[in-house]
């Protein structure tokens, strides 16, 4: 990706979006995007796997942006 302004800005943007997704969760994200309400299975998987994964990816992206 390099260290250009555009590359670093892109990584910070990715980090911010993933951190936001981790913070609000999949249910709120679906509502925000105008999607139907997620199933109970998705809610379970979101709390157990998807949100922590988004947080880990956000931290990794932020570290790469520095």
CA distance 61 to 23: 16
5-47 per-position pLDDT tens digit: 999 999 999 999 999 999 999 999 999 999 999 999 999 999 9
Instruction: Note the pTM of the prediction, 2 decimals.
Output: 0.88
Q: Give the pLDDT confidence score for residue 31 in this predicted structure.
A: 94
**Cβ distance 21 to 15 under 8 Å?**
no
Which band of pLDDT confidence, cut at 50, 70 and 90, is reported for residue 2?
confident
* Token pair in block for residue 4: 């250009």
Q: At what angle do helices 5-32 and 51-65 cross, to 10 degrees?
A: 160
pLDDT at 1 over 80: no
């Amino acid at each position: 990706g390099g260290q250009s302004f555009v590359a670093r800005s892109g990584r910070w943007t990715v980090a911010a979006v993933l951190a936001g997704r981790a913070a609000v969760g999949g249910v709120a994200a679906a509502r925000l995007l105008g999607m139907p309400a997620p199933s109970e299975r998705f809610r379970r998987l979101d709390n157990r796997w998807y949100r922590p994964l988004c947080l880990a990816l956000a931290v990794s992206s932020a570290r790469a942006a520095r």
